[in-house]
Amino acid sequence: MWPLDPSRKEVLRFAISCRVLTLMLQAFFNAVIPDHHAEAFSPPRLAPSGCVDQLVEALLGGLSRWDAEHFLFIAEHGYLYEHNFAFFPGFPLTLLVGTELLRPLRGLLSQRSCLLISVASLNSLFSVLAALALHDLGCLVLHCPHQALYAALLFCLSPANVFLAAGYSEPLFAFLTFSAMGQLERGRSWMSGLLFALATGVRANGLVSVGFLLHSQCRGFFSFVMLNPQRQFLKLVSSMCLSVLTLSLPFALFQYYAYTQFCLPGPARSIPEPLVQLAVEKGYRITEGNEPPWCSWDLPLIYSYIQDVYWNVGFLRYYELKQTPNFLLAAPVAILVSWATWTYVTTHPWLCLTLGLRRHKNSKTLEKSIPGFLSPQVFVYVVHAMFLLLSGGLCMHVQDGGNNTEGLRGR
């Protein structure tokens, strides 16, 4: 994929070392520290566990906590409960591919054990590939090999490193997104759009990435607008519409699939009794239950409904006194992003006022790129980071709401 020059080899070695160390630490701490009994999604195990299964659970069970249980459940049973639809199908489908590679071991391992092994191996692979893709992107954008190297190493050392090992979709999403950005920097917009669309099939916030494509197309428009303004404008509008449709398609298809499961009549689905009992006890809505209220919306989006009812996501809903420790945990990154944005804006005021489309007020030609973080090419990435900070800080939270059944029953 990328030629392994010395800096990339260093990133590769460091990323692999981090993955191995993380897996070892999670196994150790999972064994010595009792689990916190939180009201998180915890479905019953339907298949009996053998000796090998117990060993796999002891070594890799720490990777299946919190939202990872949703991904493992979806990969094993499909989209059964309504709140499972908060998690997009890209990662569960990838896990199923991984379990197929373990088919010769089915006599020794249960489906859950195969999924845990797939999580450990695939997410280790994707996180290493994501680090390499980030290093490649840094070289293209920063034009400074040292900063690109440091960015990739810090990515591996991030406090969120645990999510790159656990059964979450972040490693696959990061790999696809960084790769798409790299393809766009090389001018390969079609390949970039495809990778961005695949990333949207993994996580809903991949929709935000459409901004990279739209900004690139606007830059191209202003570069060639004097040649044939009318033709260039039509080309811009058509390409922007195509970009929006391409990245929205995975999201739209997934919403339509949910609509067919809950809002349209269909053949009865065989559901194991323990899973039906769990739905009764916790108040989960299953696909064979009563029609949910979102089916009658003008735009029936299950994703919006789930985020509201199950996760209590909304403007300033997370701002409570008891959440102060979580705000303190997020403060260093929030301060870093804010400081970086302020530094960039004050260094390039005209560039920011023109949305990165012109470098200098008195120049029609683009100057030679400044190496490092202050490079004009970094503008769209600064905007992306600040947008995520604002939307996350004002509307999202980090607590699991999968068992927020009291709020559900109240509706």
Its pTM stands at 0.89
Q: Give 131-146 pLDDT, tens digit per residue.
A: 999 999 999 999 888 9
Q: What mean pLDDT is reported for the chain?
A: 85
Beta bridge partners of 81: 286
* Greater model confidence, 361 or 57: 57
* Biggest CA-to-CA distance, the chain: 73
**Is the Cβ–Cβ distance between 149 and 11 less than 8 Å?**
yes
Q: Report the length, in residues, of the chain.
A: 411
Residue 289 predicted with pLDDT over 80: no
Q: Give the pLDDT mean for 33-59.
A: 79
Q: Give the pLDDT mean for 239-248.
A: 93
**What are the CA-CA distances from residue 173 to residues 102, 177, 178, 199, 340 (Å)?**
23, 6, 8, 5, 24
Most confident region among 64-68, 82-86, 99-103, 105-109 by mean pLDDT: 82-86
Per-residue confidence (pLDDT) for residue 3, from 0 to 100: 61
Instruction: Reduce the DSSP state of residue 286 to 3 states and report it.
Output: strand
Q: Please choose, from the candidates 104, 103, 109, 73, the residue with its C-alpha nearest in 3D space to the C-alpha of residue 91.
A: 73
Residue 193 pLDDT level (bands cut at 50, 70, 90): very high
What are the phi and psi torsion angles at 286 (to 5°)? -105, 170
**What are the CA-CA distances from residue 23 to residues 70, 119, 369 (Å)?**
20, 11, 41
Instruction: Reduce the DSSP state of residue 35 to 3 states and report it.
Output: coil
* Greater model confidence, 94 or 225: 94
Question: From CA 390, how far away is CA 345, in angstroms rounded?
Answer: 16
* Greater model confidence, 268 or 315: 315
Measured from the Cβ of residue 347, the count of other Cβ atoms closer than 10 Å reads: 12
Indicate the range of 42-51, 272-281, 396-405 predicted with least confidence. 396-405
Q: Please choose, from the candidates 183, 178, 243, the residue with its C-alpha nearest in 3D space to the C-alpha of residue 213.
A: 243
* Greater model confidence, 50 or 90: 90
* Greater model confidence, 152 or 311: 152
DSSP symbol at 81: B
Question: From CA 42, how far away is CA 65, in angstroms rounded?
Answer: 9
Per-residue confidence (pLDDT) for residue 2, from 0 to 100: 55
Domain boundaries, the chain: 6-253, 321-395
Per-residue confidence (pLDDT) for residue 362, from 0 to 100: 52
**Is the Cβ–Cβ distance between 318 and 396 less than 8 Å?**
yes
Q: Give the pLDDT mean for 44-63.
A: 83
Q: With the C-alpha atoms ordered 138, 141, 145, 146, is the resulting torsion angle positive or negative? A: negative
Q: Give 297-320 pLDDT, tens digit per residue.
A: 989 999 999 988 888 888 888 888
Residue 407 predicted with pLDDT over 50: no
Per-residue confidence (pLDDT) for residue 234, from 0 to 100: 87
Beta bridge partners of 286: 81
Per-residue confidence (pLDDT) for residue 51, from 0 to 100: 86
Indicate the range of 149-153, 327-331, 333-337 predicted with least confidence. 327-331
Residue 269 predicted with pLDDT over 90: no
**Is the Cβ–Cβ distance between 351 and 379 less than 8 Å?**
yes
Indicate the range of 208-212, 226-230, 262-266 predicted with least confidence. 226-230
Per-residue confidence (pLDDT) for residue 4, from 0 to 100: 62
**What are the CA-CA distances from residue 224 to residues 227, 377, 383 (Å)?**
6, 19, 24
Q: Give the pLDDT mean for 200-222.
A: 91
